[in-house]
Amino acid sequence: MEKFQGIAVSPGVALGEALVLDNQGFRIPRRFVQHDAVEQEVQRLHQAIQATRQQIARNRDAINQQLGPHYGAIFDAHLQMLQDEKLLREIEQLVRRRHFSPEYAVSRVLRRYARVFEQLPGPFAEKATDIFDIQRRLLRELLGRDRQELGHLTSPVLVLAHSLTPSEVAGFDPQYVKGFVTEVGGPGSHTAIVAQGLEIPAVVGTGPFLTAVSGGEEVILDADQGWVILDPDEATRQEYQQRIRRRERWLVELRSLDQQEARTADGVRIELMGNIELPQEAEHCRRRGADGIGLYRTEFLYLQSPTPPSEEEHYQAYAQVVQAMQGRVVVIRTFDLGADKLRHLPEPEEQANPFLGLRSLRLALRHTEMFRTQLRAIVRAAALGPVRVLFPFVSTLRELRQAKTVLADVVEDLQEQGQGPPEPVPVGMMIEIPSAAILADLFVPEVDFVSIGTNDLTQYTLAADRGNREVSSLYNPCDPAVLRLLKNTIEQADRHGKPVNVCGQVGSMPECVILLLGLGLRRLSVAPGAIAQVKRICRRVTLPQCQQVAQRALGMDDGRTVQLFLRQEIKQLDGETLV
């Protein structure tokens, strides 16, 4: 049994068979071959080795010609390894004697070699990369496919990978992917957010552990505490089986709240909405009794296809959401592409610092045709129900005014064509850049509502990349600096009588819910899987209790202290909350 600690980003516990993707995204299966198929499989192995050798030799010759023999020597080293009798015999023996599949035998032997090299100092450690490269080539020959097949699973698995993009996770079928772990990644990444949306338990940022596991091995994923446990012993397995059963009972209990309102114990109504990435999640939110969709992250429409969606494709997606919500509010955010959500609009010179670059609304204002296509669809969808437009990533008033001008222009065009909205479409902005939070008094009067994006607000206030595990301890939405920005924004919105919502992940964190209510928020937009739990907390606390908690938190000078304090408080106020 081996345990690795990562960052829990989407709660849940799961026990099951590992599907391992190496750092090139290749699936490492564990499969035994039938006794009478051994010879055939050995032959397949030899063919793959032969084909790989030929491919490497071809690459070497091409590089020799282009750059000279010095560079081609890298491939010679790979060829030598693939001619190493001892190594090849070892792989073959695993197939012959233990009836391992060639894929599994290759990955097992090469991973062991790589592991030895990884533990050596200096340049020897780099040898491990060469071994992974050979493994990748061999597996490509043997498997003849790549990570696309993740979309075609037929049995439940836990996916263990070096990294996963948000759109790869969006393609997971929760019926089969029972959880995932990635070696890299931080708490606020969009990969984590999509996992929450699909309610797939997830742990990220464990650091290297994939060399210790092969496909098919039993794994426990404790995404409440951030653990991944390989090859668990019997006592651990039993403990987790019990926890899984307890969790199932807890979830059944939460279902009883689906038809109830979010209202504090002293009777104050809290508007509780859902955050979605994919149209089909809207139905889920409605079943959980959400008051609407507080944040529809539309950029996933762009990430899932090789060309930007047409106006009609946008419209169909929005119509699906609006219809699913049956008259409840739907806040559609215009595309927030760039940074970790890239496609269609490559800006290579921007890549050195993508989170500070041409991202989101900045891209939209640069590519106004694409922006207009989306806005037209949103405005048309407003004829079907109460739709609101939300602009992300606003850093200056000038940008906000530009975006509003484009929208006004689109509305005018549609009106001329007889497709204008029946009523003006309310316009809101995300407050997720410190400049906007600091100048909330100037921004708020220019919009109909604001939505605070604490994920980015935390990242930019503390200069801590939300997707980087190395700075995950700095990335703290409870930091006093973030709390002051939150307080200022809420106060300014209240002063101007404009609705204010929080749609960042803090809203889904039980201990932060009491803080947010205490700071004056009456609207929250949370991950679909968190709706019931947040509702439960709202119903168990009174506003004076929350105000007292917020008052004390605001007096603290350290984010970690605030977090610990909040966890203690929520345990006292609602002992059964899973935190």
Q: Please state, in angstroms and rounded to a whole number, the distance separating the CA atoms of residues 211 and 259.
A: 47
Which of these is catalytic: 478, 503, 538, 546? Answer: 503
Six-digit token pair at 494? 């209240």
**At its nearest, how many Å lie between ligand PEP and the CB of residue 301?**
14
Q: Closer CB to ligand PEP, residue 182 or residue 458?
A: 458
Active site residue 512: no
Q: Which of 12, 215, 309, 504 binds ligand PEP (CB under 6 A)?
A: 504
* Closest alpha carbon to 105 in 75, 142, 145: 142
Rule CB under 6 A: say whether 222 interacts with ligand PEP. Answer: no
CB of 186 to ligand PEP, least distance (A): 12
The window from 26-34, 286-294, 449-457, 527-535 that contacts ligand PEP (CB under 6 A) reads 449-457
Question: Choosing from 78, 190, 284, 314, which is the catalytic residue?
Answer: 190
Give me the 426-445 binding string for Mg ion, x by CB under 5 A, dash otherwise. ------x-------------
Q: Is 503 a catalytic residue?
A: yes
Q: How far is the CB of 370 from Mg ion (least distance, A)?
A: 19
Q: How far is the CB of 392 from ligand PEP (least distance, A)?
A: 7
Q: Residue 428 — φ and ψ, nearest 5°?
A: -130, 170
Supply the Cα-derived Rg of the chain in whole angstroms.
26
**Residues in 138-197 at the binding interface with ligand PEP, rule: CB under 6 A:** 193
**404-407 long-range CB contacts below 8 Å, 24 or more apart?**
404/446, 406/365, 406/368, 406/371, 406/372, 406/375, 407/375, 407/379
State which of residues 453, 467, 510, 518 lies at the interface with Mg ion (CB under 5 A).
Answer: 453
Binding of Mg ion at residue 340 (CB under 5 A)? no
Own/partner long-range contacts of 481-486 (Cβ < 8 Å, ≥24 apart): 482/454, 482/457, 482/458, 482/559, 483/515, 483/519, 483/553, 483/554, 483/562, 484/554, 485/434, 485/437, 485/438, 485/457, 485/461, 486/437, 486/452, 486/454, 486/457, 486/516, 486/519
> Nearer to Mg ion by C-beta: 453 or 467?
453
Owner of token pair 């407050």: 431
List residues bridging with 339 in a β-sheet.
Answer: none
The pair of three-digit structure tokens given for residue 361, joined into one six-digit string = 């609304």
Closer to Mg ion by CB, 453 or 528: give it: 453
Percent of the chain as helix, strand, coil, to the nearest 5: 55, 15, 30
In whole angstroms, what is the distance from residue 286 CA to residue 290 CA? 5
When binding is defined by CB under 6 A, the residue of 182, 214, 455, 533 that contacts ligand PEP is 455
Cα–Cα distances in angstroms (integers) from residue 293 to residues 157, 201, 254, 270, in the given order: 31, 22, 20, 14
Residues 284-303 touching ligand PEP, rule: CB under 6 A, are 295, 297
The number of CA neighbours under 13 Å toward the Cβ of 164 is 29
Q: What's the closest the beta carbon of residue 361 comes to Mg ion, in angstroms?
A: 11
Q: Considering beta carbons, is residue 219 or 295 the nearer one to ligand PEP? A: 295
Kindly report the three-state secondary structure assignment for every residue of 159-174. EEECCCCHHHHHCCCC
Choosing from 199, 277, 281, 456, the residue that interacts with Mg ion (CB under 5 A) is: 456
226 binds ligand PEP (CB under 6 A): no
Supply 497's token pair: 């009588």
Under the criterion CB under 6 A, does residue 277 sit at the interface with ligand PEP?
A: no
Residue placing its CB nearer to Mg ion in the complex, 350 or 432: 432
Provide the minimum distance between the beta carbon of 548 and ligand PEP in the complex, in angstroms, as a whole number: 26
Q: What is the DSSP letter of 35?
A: G
222 interacts with Mg ion by CB under 5 A: no
Exposure of 232 in the CB half-sphere (CA atoms within 13 A): 22
The yes or no reply on residue 503 touching ligand PEP (CB under 6 A) is yes
Measured from the CB atom, the residue of 142 and 394 that comes closer to ligand PEP is: 394
- Closer residue to ligand PEP in complex, CB, 214/458: 458
Task: List binders of Mg ion among 77-116 (CB under 5 A).
Answer: none
Q: Is 340 in the site for ligand PEP (CB under 6 A)?
A: no
The residue with tokens 């020959």 is: 141
The site for Mg ion (CB under 5 A) is made up of 432, 453, 456
The site for ligand PEP (CB under 6 A) is made up of 193, 295, 297, 336, 432, 453-456, 503-504
Please give the positions annotated as active site: 190, 503
